[in-house]
Structure 1
């Protein structure tokens, strides 16, 4: 049996940020990292610090627009038919969460988290002596048709974008993007107050190195389940060996659901998979991230590499990737006249998403030593640094109001009304 003061289950960006924050708080921390192949969303995301994404994706507007965004109709949203048994119960909960009242609660909850996201990233980047990994140059959204521009601009002007700022993309800015593509662009907006990282995989590596340099320990292993031991739990590794820890934090993305359910928690997290293609940037300018909103496509330059990312695919985490998604990405790039040079790598990975599009952060009521931080959907990278700080405060016994993120909100299928002070 292995022992630790605190065990963090999950080596992605959220788990690693939490492990580092806990180690710096003086904890003896063992990070249990399954080292999955292909790497998870912490590696393959668009690198965007999306503080403007305050509007929850569980809302009447998002629900109403879903049919028009289906993959079969040319959109980015797909439900793998073979995996219907996995996503159908999730969809039922999502529909129930997509009311105006619950969307308003979700907006307030996400807004509170996102307000601290970029300051937390500045602190985290400075603390590893690499402030350069955070690039605060905003991002661009462009449209290819007048109707899309009209609807998109109206939607963004009406949306809560938190601490970000929105401005029309002037003619010079639009021409700068238009020179990179062969499809005419009719309009765009610039977001200020958002950011990107130099490369998600590099940032994850740097945080892991900082954790180990400060005395944190890493165990490369999978966790099969959590086992009750009196009023606490132990982590049972693949193969049966156990990890006994004073406290255990579950932060393992999509895999967190099965671990929490092994103790009787209702944890309806789904694999919401994204895809990317990445190659040498070639002649692509050193632009901030550019969203081609008509195509639900984001292009991000990481040094000499250019990454094209898209798709929201609901499936089982273990299901094989769908080659049609990469083919669609290639068609988008061909249509735009964008060429990825050199070795072109393709990737897919699952975002951990809960039905109300809020993360689960808190302390379990089923075991005295169990904590959790997972389900960050598209905002895992964005919220990693602030989640690490919040979790360290929570586990230090400080009062942290985490009522909107309590996992027990799913126990009855509706929002809890009890105010929780963790």
Structure 2
């Protein structure tokens, strides 16, 4: 292994904590720095699915034609805070430029090595940490009204097939036999094996962070203002009014990574895809496996004592409060998909997915600055891809060559 380093990791969500675990296993000293503490942001509120098959970006051909109708329909899972729209336009223009078949193919090829074996990546990460108890191997189902509805998604399923994903089909009574909890109006499903889910994502990441701390890592609750350098090499991070010495740093603060990245010469076109979840606490019945309900573009995941419904894309920046309409849509969609299920209470949450305009995460060393690395920008797949991202970063820092081509993720593509 390389010389022992002191590594400051900025951001204690799934990516930062995964990197910390793997770096400790390599013998390094790690410091996790987060303004709110481990798993207090997106890693707390995600859908909980290890969605290895989610390699198809939102920017598929035809999106430009569909988006206006979606924005003005209260039944569609796309929302906009219109006062934010002028600020969004430059990012949105770049984002929509990728809604082409060859771009989808390129993005899917980039995402597959990061998320395509997520269950095993999580098993390797969690082994011996005490967090294993939250990890459940499972199928992952996509639910459709009927076969014609499924065939309308043929483009995306073709991309998945090309990248090695296989599924079987459940239709009519076969779907009811698999899981009778869903409405009979849903008569067709694809079932993908070898997926999984986390029954409490927040606790899972907190337990991983506790393992890091128990093994000598430091966890600091502070906001990082800058990365300090000397002669082109990282020598510390400035946080909470003090400078914390380190040899190496990783920027893995999700959507809040943008300003720090810019200070390091990397100008990522990054926006918040505001995501919502609604938890149905103490439900009368649970889905057997996590599912994506295609008609509403939301997932329903069985968790510890609750069903978490997660989905919705809203553009509105980091500062605006949650909107009511997304919660109402999730509630309406839940009642339609799970008509016989009752629950005792609900928990609402809104958070921020880090969305780079090209839908490909930023992972790797910053050009021209020795010891500066980045790992953020995973859109909807942060939980799914966090463990592999953390392991890749640990390999890069140790000077080992990862077994996948990492050039497509390189921060250099956004160098100023």
Fold similarity call, TM over 0.5: yes
Shift in Å, 1:64 = 4.8
CA drift at 1:71? 5.6
Q: Is the 8 A contact 1:86 1:315 kept in 2?
A: no
Shift of 1:310: 1.6
Partner of 2:380: 378
Q: Give me the whole-angstrom Cα distance separating, in 1, the residues matched to 2:165 and 2:194.
A: 5
The answer for the alignment partner of 1:418 in structure 2 is: none
Deviation, 1:314, is: 2.0
Question: Does the aligned pair in 1 maintain the 2:176–2:182 contact within 8 Å?
Answer: no
Residue 124 of structure 2 corresponds to 123
* Equivalent runs, 1:209-288 vs 2, <5 Å: 209-233=210-234, 234-238=236-240, 240-288=241-289
Which region of structure 1 is more displaced relative to structure 2, 174-183 or 297-306?
Answer: 174-183
Residues 392, 71 of structure 1: alpha-carbon distance in 2 compared, 3 angstrom cutoff: farther
| Contact 1:281-1:301 at 8 Å conserved across structures | no
3-state SS, counterpart of residue 160 of structure 1:
helix
Give the equivalent residue in structure 1 for 2:71. Answer: 70
Partner of 1:312: 313
* 2:356 paired residue among 340, 344, 354: 354
Distance 1:203 1:18, change over 3 A: same
- Deviations, residues 198-225 of structure 1 (Å, cap 9, x unaligned): 2211211111111111111111111123
Aligned pairs, number: 407
Match of 2:393 in 1: 391
The farther-off stretch of 142-151 and 339-348 is: 142-151
How big is the shift at 1:255? 0.7
Q: SS of 2:344's equivalent? A: strand
Matched position secondary structure for 2:319:
coil
**Could you tell me the TM-score, scaled by structure 1's length?**
0.89
Distance of aligned partners of 1:71 and 1:127 in 2 relative to their CA distance in 1, 3 Å threshold: farther
Any residues of structure 2 matched to 1:54-93 within 5 Å, and which? 54-70=55-71, 72=73, 74-93=75-94
- Give the conservation status (yes or no) of the 8 Å contact 2:171–2:187: no
CA contact (8 A) 2:130 2:207 kept: no
Name 1:409's counterpart in structure 2: 413
Question: Residue 98 of structure 2 corresponds to which residue in structure 1?
Answer: 97
> Greater CA deviation, 182-191 or 348-357?
182-191
**TM-score normalized by structure 2?**
0.90
The answer to whether the 8 A contact 1:227-1:263 is kept is no
Taking the aligned partners of 1:252 and 1:373, their CA distance within structure 2 comes to: 8
Q: Deviations over 1:134-156 (max 9, x none)?
A: 2221111212356423413x345
CA gap of 1:361–1:107, structure 2 versus 1, over 3 A, is: same
Change over 3 Å in CA distance of 1:213–1:357 after alignment to 2: same
1:342 shift after superposition: 2.4
Paired with 1:135 and 1:307, the residues of 2 have a C-alpha distance of 15
Structure 2 residue aligned with 1:44? 45
Q: Distance in 1 between matches of 2:64 and 2:119?
A: 29
Counterpart of 1:415?
none
Aligned to 1:417: none
1:190 CA displacement: 1.1
Give CA deviations for 1:258-287 in whole Å, capped at 9, x if unaligned. Answer: 111123321122111110111224222341
Alpha carbons of 1:32 and 1:338: their partners in 2 closer, same or farther (altered >3 Å)?
Answer: farther
CA drift of 1:38 comes to 9.9
Distance in 1 of aligned mates of 2:53 and 2:45: 20
The answer as to whether partners of 1:164 and 1:194 remain within 8 angstroms in 2 is no
Whether contact under 8 Å (1:292, 1:298) holds in the other structure is yes
Give the direction of change, closer, same or farther, for the CA distance of 1:225–1:64 in structure 2 (3 Å limit). Answer: farther
Instruction: State the distance in 1 between where 2:302 and 2:15 align.
Output: 23
Root-mean-square deviation (Å):
2.5
Distance 1:62 1:26, change over 3 A: farther
Question: In the TM superposition, what is the alpha-carbon distance from 1:113 to its structure 2 partner?
Answer: 2.2
Q: After TM superposition, list the pairs within 5 Å mapping 1:334-353 onto structure 2.
A: 334-336=335-337, 337=339, 339=341, 341-353=343-355
Judged with a 3 Å threshold, the aligned counterparts in structure 2 of structure 1 residues 403 and 340 are, in CA distance, closer, same or farther, namely farther
**CA distance in 1 between partners of 2:212 and 2:144 (Å):** 42
In structure 2, runs of 5+ residues without a counterpart are none
